[in-house]
Structure 1
Amino acid sequence: MKRIWQKKHWWALVLVGAMLLAACGQPAAPAPAPAPASPPAQESENNDADQPGVASIAIAARAGAMADALKAVAAQYTQETGIDVQVNDMPYDNLKETIVLDVRNNSGAYDLVMMDDPWMPEFGQANLLANLDDYFTEGVDPDFVPTTINLSREPYGTGSLYALPLIGNVQMFFYREDLIEKYDLTPPENWDDVLAIAEVITREEPDTFGYALRGQRGNPIVSNYMPLFWAYGGRVLDENGVPQVNSEAGVKAMETYMKLKDLGPVGVEAFDSDQIATALTQGQAAMLVAWPSWVAMVDNEEDSLVAGKVAFAAVPGQVNESAAMIGNWLLGVPRTSSKIEAAVDFMKWVTSAEVQKEMAMIGGGVPTRRSVYQDPELIEKYRHYPAQLEALERSVARPRTPYWSQIEDVWGMYLSQILAGQVEIQEGLDRANEEIKNMLP
């Protein structure tokens, strides 16, 4: 009786902690209706090699720890160059619309903009950003993790460079190392292993579930399900842009997702970040997929019951190897800026290994360079860095289409219905695929 009561009502006993996730776990704000791209603005006469006379540059940034760290290091840049860096931080939901309207109105208010990486296809195709190829004639520093640079090009991976990766977020796999050792198990390499371990822990540990997943409609369930979808060989869109969410891989991934649901808390259909974070830190869940920003919370000895007991790894694979979702923040230059040279100079400076390390040390940076992840001082401070680098190197980008936010809404609605038992797996995925097909040009 004790076990049943605790497993059904544990959330009433634990402290529900609020936490701010990286934006990749947040729904993208809808962009204004597409408009014909304006012709490129004429560059200012100041855009020579040294950009003489530039007194300041303005950045549109995502509010929070990232913007705070950016402000801190920007002060150092001002001391070195005499150029004032104005960091204008704003909530996630307002940032995208602000950037789009600024360029389309040709106001030139911002010289640099932070962008959630799924925005890149839309921004690139709509001619909102300055092409940076001429500023990197010898190529981009190979110290950047290649997956992060791929996000900065349009078309993805092969096109012109429109940004540099500033924040290297990527999903990671969190697991209770103490319980793995207790039952003489080995860390999972694929999702079959995850299921087997979750079954053992759920059966043997009275107060701990084997796994916790996000089931809330929209972005939460899509971002949590996609690593399985990719691991089983799924593709959202094929090479011709035709949706494939109802493929055999999609069905198998969802079957596994449903099994994981049965090995987790009751009510996961409504779970988002706060609920599974609480499950992990209060010792109620043994495994889950989460973002690097969670590590500090897990290791906080004052609030976490599992400090020092959780290990980190790249997300398990299946047919394909690890398929974690990459969720970088990029730094680009609006084409309407009159200070492009100065903006590029700051962009190169702030993404340098030295400044990335400084941002990481003050808690507002997630590196995009291999050398920073391999820095002994940072590894001592952030024990998850080796696993995070592996996850980043083996990560997968969300579909590079301007229609991603609409696809995510539809897909997430049907995945949630399937998880809640309102529709069978194949039927729900078929409906999702048909609606996605109808919305695409």
Structure 2
Amino acid sequence: MKLSKKAASVLLAVAMTASVFGCGSEQNNTPANADISITIAARDGSFTDVLNSVKGEFEKEHGCTVKVFSMSADDIRTQAISDSSNEVAAYDIIMIDDPLMPEYIEKGLLCNLTSLGYADDEDFVEKSRLLGKDPYPLGATYSLPFSGNVQLLFYNKNLVDTNADLTNWNSILKICQEANDTGKKGYVIRGQSGNPIVSDFLPILWAFGGDIFDSNNNVILDSQESRDALEFYCKLLATGANQDKDDLVNSITSGEGALALGWPSWFISGNGTAAEIAQIPGKRIASSEALATGEIGNWLLGVTANSKNKELALELAIYLTSEEVQRKSLESGGIPTRKSVFRDPEVLAKYPYFEAIYSGTNNSRVRPRTTKWSQIEEVFGKELVSCINGEQTVNETIKKSQEEISLLANK
């Protein structure tokens, strides 16, 4: 029977409606989202392991595929910036090292999640939750906290007495000198140019009362506090060694090295922590005022502004940062960002070191919220490396760093 034009139009409209509203339903036993892939540019190592261990349930529930691309931190940034100029994003979700948030916002990489209808989840640890906001700390939400990294002090219990005073840097220097006297490495630094050495040095700079910027974003690095901090950093290095991340971790866990700053994701797996943990000292000497010194370094999940599947990508980001998934991810070395997970007595009984991470997060401080942070790390790191290599004095290093950072900040 031949259909009238009107009847044909009605049937076409019904078919289109079924197609549009069939998300998650089945037609001919095929999920409506079967051909949809949500792609994630993820930090390599344990972060990727966690994502792959928990994505299956989301794929099953939403009838889609989640593809995780494992990359270095530098590669994620390079790919994210390059991809932002494309009409359609290659990556629907990018994992973000929190200091890069201002740069990503300025370049228009991220979707405003608040405008998509996302409401803040107060179960996130506050300092973690605020990292995803722009303007920081009270603006709209652009990313959700996935991994609760915060810089801490890691040490080998065979070289450092459990009753040792780890509350001030002067005491730590003595401990490291004693370890060095026995033929061991005292203090191990991560002194490679750029992010490694800057992240390694900043907590000491802060503990000595120095900083890079003041509250008005003026560069204030050229100070006596900065000189004292850098001289002290060189003294610590003299007791130990300059190693890359993997060698540093091996030194502390094997007992070749006594102390180092690090991130929990380096030392923690589903089997537990491979070293003892303490808060980074906020005091220069025992009688000093205690200052916030531990860098917060959460990894966040943001939806790209040019994703063609923003709503589904946001659902995935919410799922990956949910309490349920955070609990599951603990078995793969995940580090929570939720108070409900951190404070659960059963979780703490199994992972007692979460107490130190939770405390460290609540007492942490953010790195400068500037769109130039990557460039600042590059120039400052270069000068710090020249100093620890004996190529220039502490005074020269601080003066040159002040000049170069000021030039960047004023561009």
Same structural fold, with TM-score higher than 0.5 when normalized by the shorter chain: yes
- CA shift at 1:67, angstroms? 2.2
Distance 2:192 2:171 in 1: 25
Which string of whole-angstrom CA distances, capped at 9 and with x for unpartnered residues, describes residues 256-312 of structure 1?
A: 2122122224xx3xx322332232233222211112133248x89xxxxxx98x421
Match runs of 1:189-200 below 5 Å: 189-200=167-178
- 8 Å Cα contact 1:50-1:341 kept in structure 2: no
Distance 1:313 1:405 in 2: 28
Between 96-105 and 50-59, report the one with greater CA deviation.
Answer: 50-59
- 8 Å Cα contact 1:211-1:287 kept in structure 2: yes
Root-mean-square deviation (Å): 2.9
Q: Which amino acid aligns with 1:392?
A: T
- 8 Å Cα contact 1:59-1:111 kept in structure 2: yes
Question: CA 1:280–1:67 in 2, change beyond 3 Å: closer, same or farther?
Answer: closer
Between 275-284 and 387-396, report the one with greater CA deviation.
Answer: 275-284
* Bigger radius of gyration among the two: 2
Distance 1:333 1:250 in 2: 38
| SS class of match (1:409) | helix
- 8 Å Cα contact 1:60-1:90 kept in structure 2: no
* Partner residue in 1 for 2:360: 391
Between 108-117 and 389-398, report the one with greater CA deviation.
Answer: 108-117
* Partner residue in 2 for 1:123: 104
* Partner residue in 1 for 2:267: 295
* Partner residue in 2 for 1:28: none
- CA shift at 1:178, angstroms? 4.6
Q: Does 1:331 align with 2:301?
A: yes
| SS class of match (2:188) | coil
Distance 1:345 1:424 in 2: 52
- CA shift at 1:207, angstroms? 2.9
- CA shift at 1:358, angstroms? 0.7
* Partner residue in 2 for 1:168: 148
- CA shift at 1:179, angstroms? 4.5
* Partner residue in 2 for 1:70: 51
TM-score in terms of structure 1 length: 0.78
- 8 Å Cα contact 1:60-1:95 kept in structure 2: no
Distance 1:286 1:122 in 2: 36
Distance 2:306 2:110 in 1: 8
Distance 2:306 2:295 in 1: 32
- 8 Å Cα contact 1:169-1:326 kept in structure 2: yes
- CA shift at 1:106, angstroms? 1.7
Which string of whole-angstrom CA distances, capped at 9 and with x for unpartnered residues, describes residues 206-253 of structure 1?
A: 233432222333322211111111222222222333322222221121
Q: Which aligned runs of 4 or more in structure 1 are off by greater than 4 angstroms?
A: 48-55
- 8 Å Cα contact 1:211-1:260 kept in structure 2: yes
Q: Does 1:311 align with 2:288?
A: no
* Partner residue in 2 for 1:349: 319
Q: Does 1:159 align with 2:159?
A: no
* Partner residue in 2 for 1:31: none
| SS class of match (2:61) | helix
Question: CA 1:188–1:88 in 2, change beyond 3 Å: closer, same or farther?
Answer: closer
Higher strand share: 2
Q: Which amino acid aligns with 2:151?
A: Q
Question: CA 1:166–1:49 in 2, change beyond 3 Å: closer, same or farther?
Answer: farther
| SS class of match (2:96) | strand
Question: CA 1:292–1:161 in 2, change beyond 3 Å: closer, same or farther?
Answer: same
Q: Which amino acid aligns with 2:391?
A: Q
- CA shift at 1:98, angstroms? 2.3
- CA shift at 1:327, angstroms? 1.7
TM-score in terms of structure 2 length: 0.83
Distance 2:337 2:392 in 1: 41
- CA shift at 1:398, angstroms? 1.8
- CA shift at 1:376, angstroms? 4.1
- CA shift at 1:377, angstroms? 4.4
Distance 2:247 2:308 in 1: 46
Q: Which amino acid aligns with 2:167?
A: E
Distance 2:51 2:22 in 1: 23
- CA shift at 1:152, angstroms? 0.6
Distance 1:287 1:366 in 2: 22
- 8 Å Cα contact 1:218-1:412 kept in structure 2: yes
Out of 144, 166, 178, which is 1:188 matched to?
Answer: 166
Between 121-130 and 63-72, report the one with greater CA deviation.
Answer: 63-72
Q: Which runs of 5+ in 2 are unaligned?
A: 1-16, 25-31, 284-288
